[in-house]
A and B are shown apart, each in its own frame.
Chain A
Amino acid sequence: MKRVPKPVFFIVALLILAFSFTAIFGVSYYTGDNKNTVLKGIGDIRWGIDIRGGVEATFKPANNYDATDEQLESAKSIIELRMISQGITDYELYADRNSDRIIVRFPWKSDETEFNAVNAIEEISSTANLTFRPGKSYESTDVGSDGEYIYKTPTGDTATVLMDGSAVENAEAQYYQDDSGKAQYVVSLTLNEEGAKTFEEITTTYLNQTVSIWMDDIMLSAPTVQATITDGKAQISGSFTAKEATELAQKINAGALPFQLETANYGNISATLGENALTAMAYAAVVAFILIALIMIIFYRLPGFIAIIALIGQMGLTVAAVSGYFPAFPSFTMTLPGIAGMILSIGMGVDCNVITAERIKEELRGGRTLDGALDKGSKSSLSAIIDGNMTVVIVSIILMLVFGPSNILSFIFGESTTGTIYAFGYTLLVGVISNFIMGIFFSRLMLRSIAGIKPLRKNWLFGGAKNEK
């Protein structure tokens, strides 16, 4: 058997514990009353509606407009699309055809302690009607938060609409450097065939005049037409930030609502699982962990002890992948099925250690030497663990692809996500990968290393019979 140096055990164990500690509890410091989060922990996880609650809003058509069932349905799917493009995957959305209501529930956004529900709701329910209008007459102005003027409500000539968002095939945020080298963000539009024709007519009629572009009631930009445009490409520039340009493009892509919505009522909803669900789960996690640790150590002794360290590492990694500990993985919305995925992956982590430990025990009792048993036990248990985990990986990937934003079956079933199932797939996948790293790689490394420590080289400690040396 290839020996692993003794200090490896201590180094690996310490690293795992340190990592998991920071991943679970997070690292933050306070400057005055402000909390500065260095590393995100469990406390920074974005919880789904079922666990933490969120926002519920009821929309109705404005001005007592009587929407048809089709219009209501299309409004519902546009709202759905908007939520998906905002990264909200676990929403509940209902349409009430009898009273023309759309009811939506979605969780709190991540990173926000004080959730701005009003903004989120406005974002989701805005009509998003993109219009091209002649001239640039407006009724009123507002001062935006960045000190710039916002021109509102078209009047006069500008009240006529030349072309609207339905002519747009695709909108995309783009970036270029202007003459002075400053970064500029624009939204470039590709028009559909009909739109290209209309746009050609518009740019011919209004050559050297101003045509303004509006989003609902707000003027985005008012360029002067300098040439007739025939290729169906248009651009909206309006001193956007990168985020604004992306959001605007998303909004245009999601399409305009068939009618204007107003908010009939909205409010915070408490966790649908009940008030104390999170507290109860937290206690359950701690108690269950202690129980599992006891079982593992009593039955498997030293390998059991190492399994516990590996399990802590696995939990740490899984939590880290959910909370946004690694900047590359944004924080993820955790729902009850997400927790189920975690439980399953931890169960598989336990299983992987149990399989190995049982195998070592079996080999020891079959009369092998300690080194021989460790070697044979690790080797022959590997295929079971890999096959078991791989099949589960297949399932979790399919679930993520089908129910998550990538939505590989959308050509059959239309755009929709089911965040709860997506969350399950995600935590399961991450958990199983963590299991490969911790339960298979590191726990075996630690086991081999610790087997080199003299006072611990007793068969009994590895599951052999007690009277053996």
Chain B
Amino acid sequence: MKNDVQTKTDVKMTEQEISEKFNRGRKIIDFVGSKKIYFCVSLGIMLIGIICNFIFGTTLDIQFSGGATLTFSYTSDEEHPIDQNALHDFIQEKTTDKITTSFSEDLMGNTGKNVSVQFSGNDSIETDIQKNLEKDLQTEYPDNNFITLEANSVDASMGFSFLLKCLAAVALASVLMVLYVTIRFKKIGGLSAGVMALVALFHDVAMIYFLYVIFQMPIDSNFIAVVLMILGYSLNDTIVIYDRVREEKKLIGRRADVGTVFNVATTKTLKRTIMTSVTTLTAILTVYVLATIFNISSVKGFALPMMIGVVSGCYSSICIAGPLWVMWQNRKAKKKAAK
């Protein structure tokens, strides 16, 4: 952080002068100057996340952790209907494991309807839990003939090798992306821009992950969907700002202070950043509200982290990737000067 002081003395222009010179008198927000606050906020949230991770652990969905599946058959008719959501909630209350339920209609013609309850991470369901659950269901729904049909314990369908595959895919995509940014943004120190864009992406993934941990939502395939979407969103956000930095740098000139260039570029794109985020948030909020109205918890659990991700993606581009890039550039300049 020593070169930080250096940067500040380099900037001889006052805020007033900068805004007069580069933005027709409108205020230029000093994003780089407040970087310590941003870094602290991000690190703070991550710290809370890590602490929560130690306390609660992560809940993995059965697809990732493997687990046990109990299948019950039941009957349901007009007089004794069964609401699938209510049934799910009822079973969830009876166990500490995170469950997912799926409903099926038997086609072999034996039993009518089935519900299978998946207990993630718990691959050996003790018989008394199983018996208790059957009993509980029979007491709660006396007219629906709940009977245990099957009990299976299964391996993760997306297990460790899936995780490795995901990491390999991420590594591959990262390399190509940094390469693209390096080539396209040569003028603003391509490699540093690419690497910092990557840092911003990891920041967003960490934020979503910790959100799942803090709220103890099970990590399921929705998580993958959210992470992927936010990666794309954040990447686009960062690139749009870089593009403006590239342009402003050309306008302001080579010798301008990097921090000022970044501040000017970001302030000028701020309206766009806000408008795009607002429209995206509006769309996702609509999904969230309708999922609440229809009481579809799975879609809610998909929309909520996505909203957080949009905010984080936008924040990380401005407050993390940018200042880090400025620090890198300053450091490089200092090294050059030292030579």
Contact = CB atoms under 8 A, between A and B. Distances in A.
A95 interface: yes
A172 interface: no
Interface string B285-300: 0110111011111110
A420 B227 CA distance: 13
Given A388-B239, A399-B228, A409-B169, A94 B298 contact: no
Contacts of B103: 269-270
Contacts of A220: none
Contacts of B105: 267-268, 270
A337 interface: yes
B96 interface: no
B240 A336 contact: no
A281 interface: yes
Name the residue among B63, B242, B276, B279 with the largest chain A CB count within 10 angstroms: B279
Interface stretch (B42-50, B51-59, B173-181, B202-210): B173-181
A389 interface: yes
A267 B114 contact: yes
Contact of B243 (A275, A292, A387): A387
Given A288-B282, A362-B268, A336 B290 contact: no
A68 to B, nearest CB: 15
Interface residues of B, number: 84
A96 B70 CA distance: 12
Interface string A320-348: 00000000000000001100110110111
Interface stretch (A33-41, A243-251, A349-357): A349-357
B278 to A, nearest CB: 7
Q: What band does the interface of chain A fall in when counting residues whose beta carbon is under 8 Å from B?
A: 35 or more
Interface stretch (A149-157, A192-200, A411-419): A411-419
Contacts of B246: 383
A348 B276 CA distance: 8
A304 to B, nearest CB: 10
B176 A398 contact: yes
B279 A296 contact: yes
Nearest to B241: A384
A387 B282 contact: no
Given A288-B287, A340-B306, A343-B283, A420 B299 contact: no
A101 interface: yes
B152 A101 contact: yes
B240 A351 contact: yes
B85 A274 contact: yes
Interface string A374-404: 0000001001100111111011101100110
B232 A395 contact: yes
A19 B161 CA distance: 43
Nearest to B161: A413
Contacts of A265: 106, 108, 110, 149-150
Contacts of B152: 58, 94, 96, 98-99, 101, 103
16 contacts: A56-B116, A58-B152, A97-B155, A99-B153, A117-B107, A275-B84, A287-B290, A344-B233, A347-B233, A355-B240, A358-B269, A358-B275, A362-B268, A391-B180, A399-B169, A399-B228
Given A350-B279, A351-B236, A391-B181, 13 more contacts: A58-B150, A93-B157, A263-B108, A280-B294, A281-B290, A284-B287, A291-B282, A341-B229, A343-B284, A347-B279, A384-B240, A390-B180, A412-B168
